[in-house]
């Protein structure tokens, strides 16, 4: 047990908080006060702490009001009155935006889960006919899931990842696709259960298609997530190679130059480093990768903002076309 008593109970009310604050002040390194705390000082501290507690309660009440709006507007039967529908949509969008802002506070994110807000998002808002509601719902899920294992596990248990991958892959509105992928990222990065669900739903194929879309933001975020996952989880490299990912990435590199090519080249480096199969795939003459990399290197030379991209090109050329092929470790077949 840590010195000082690891089993000490946290205060359950304002008076307990006040007592703990006074005790903490007395136990500090400063000399003990010569006189007990005055009633005026106690009153001031009570008021300050009450304001803090009230602020937290106010936020919970705000979340409840937002959820009431979402439930009310989401349950209405549409009768084709355009002006009324626009007003209802604006209310829902405003409620989702406020919830996202409030749930940057991790305590609020947990409270929203307890209040049923995440269930409402999954069952109703992500399926809403208006794209403005769908993307704000995905944004809210991302806000709640970020750095919150408890919320991540709950969302995964409710099947959120599959729906978010579907939105990323097929939604007709570009912003919905981008926000859904952001939420996917919040559920799978540094989250083993999320990564396993991602694999079971063929998530790497979704990223591949995202990189081939005409949406610049989606291409960039898809390539960045692929690079992040391959860097953090090289054990899944063979799964990605078996999908023909090297060929797909080289195809993407042949598109007009874009900043996201840096992530694509980084992902290729992950696939060839100490990996015989990845090198063999890259050396396929039909890909023409060596010539492509040499041309890119010439184009990028001298451009300070492209320094890392140039280093990736040089690394790929050195690994695949200028050095000895790596030994096959048995995992790359």
Q: Return the structure tokens found at 27.
A: 């136990």
Rg over CA atoms, the chain: 27
The 3-state DSSP class for residue 53 equals: helix
Q: How far, in Å, CA of 294 to CA of 304, rounded?
A: 18
Among candidates 311, 310, 322, which has minimal Cα distance to 282? 322
pTM for the full model?
A: 0.79
Q: Where are the domains of the chain?
A: 90-201, 236-328
Are 70 and 120 within 8 A, CB to CB?
Answer: yes
Among candidates 216, 130, 207, 211, which has minimal Cα distance to 172? 130
Question: Checking phi first, is residue 252 left (phi over 0); if not, alpha (psi -120 to 50) or beta?
Answer: alpha
Over its length of 333 residues, how does the chain's per-residue pLDDT go in tens digits? 444 444 444 444 444 554 555 555 544 444 444 556 677 766 666 665 555 554 556 899 999 999 999 998 766 544 455 667 788 889 999 999 999 999 999 999 999 999 999 999 999 999 999 999 999 999 999 999 998 999 999 999 999 999 999 999 999 999 999 999 999 999 999 899 999 999 999 999 999 999 999 999 999 999 999 999 999 999 999 999 999 999 999 999 999 999 999 999 999 999 999 999 999 999 999 999 999 999 999 999 989 999 999 999 999 999 999 865 444 444 443
The domain 90-201 having CATH identifier 1.25.10.10: the answer here is: yes
Among candidates 329, 239, 253, which has minimal Cα distance to 297? 253
Among candidates 141, 126, 142, which has minimal Cα distance to 176? 126
Q: How far, in Å, CA of 282 to CA of 100, rounded?
A: 43
Are 177 and 185 within 8 A, CB to CB?
Answer: no
Q: Return the structure tokens found at 65.
A: 């009001």
Q: Return the structure tokens found at 218.
A: 């989606």
Query: Residue 300: in which H helix or E strand, if any?
Result: helix 289-300
Beta-carbon neighbour count of residue 232 at 10 Å?
14
pLDDT at site 219:
97
Q: Identify the DSSP state of 323.
A: S
């Amino acid at each position: 047990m840590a010195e000082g008593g690891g089993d000490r109970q946290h205060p359950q009310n304002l008076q307990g908080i006040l007592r703990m604050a006074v005790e903490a002040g007395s136990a500090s390194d400063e000399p003990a006060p010569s006189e007990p705390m005055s009633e005026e000082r106690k009153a001031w501290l009570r008021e300050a702490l009450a304001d803090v507690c009230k602020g937290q309660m106010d936020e919970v009440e705000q979340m409840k009001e937002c959820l009431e709006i979402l439930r009310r507007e989401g349950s209405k039967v549409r009768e084709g009155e355009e002006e009324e529908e626009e007003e209802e949509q604006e209310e829902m969008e405003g409620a989702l935006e406020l919830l996202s802002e409030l749930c940057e506070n991790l305590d609020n994110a947990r409270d929203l889960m307890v209040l049923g807000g995440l269930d409402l998002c999954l069952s109703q808002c992500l399926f809403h006919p208006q794209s403005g509601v769908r993307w704000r719902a995905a944004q809210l899920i991302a806000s709640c899931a970020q750095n919150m294992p408890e919320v991540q596990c709950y969302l995964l248990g409710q099947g959120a990842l599959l729906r978010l991958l579907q939105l990323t892959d097929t939604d007709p509105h570009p912003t919905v696709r981008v926000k859904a992928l952001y939420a996917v990222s919040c559920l799978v990065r540094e989250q083993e259960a999320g990564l396993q669900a991602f694999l079971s739903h063929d998530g790497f194929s979704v990223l591949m298609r995202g990189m081939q879309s005409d949406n610049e933001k989606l291409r960039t975020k898809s390539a960045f997530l692929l690079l992040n996952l391959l860097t953090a989880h090289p054990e899944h490299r063979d799964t990605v190679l078996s999908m023909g990912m090297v060929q797909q990435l080289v195809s993407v590199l042949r598109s007009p130059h874009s900043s996201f090519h840096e992530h694509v080249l980084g992902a290729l480096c992950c696939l060839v480093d100490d990996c015989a199969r990845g090198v063999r795939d890259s050396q396929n003459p039909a890909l023409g990768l060596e010539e492509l990399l040499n041309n890119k290197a010439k184009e990028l030379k001298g451009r300070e903002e492209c320094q890392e991209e140039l280093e990736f090109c040089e690394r790929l050329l050195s690994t695949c076309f200028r050095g000895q092929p790596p030994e096959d470790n048995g995992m790359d077949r």
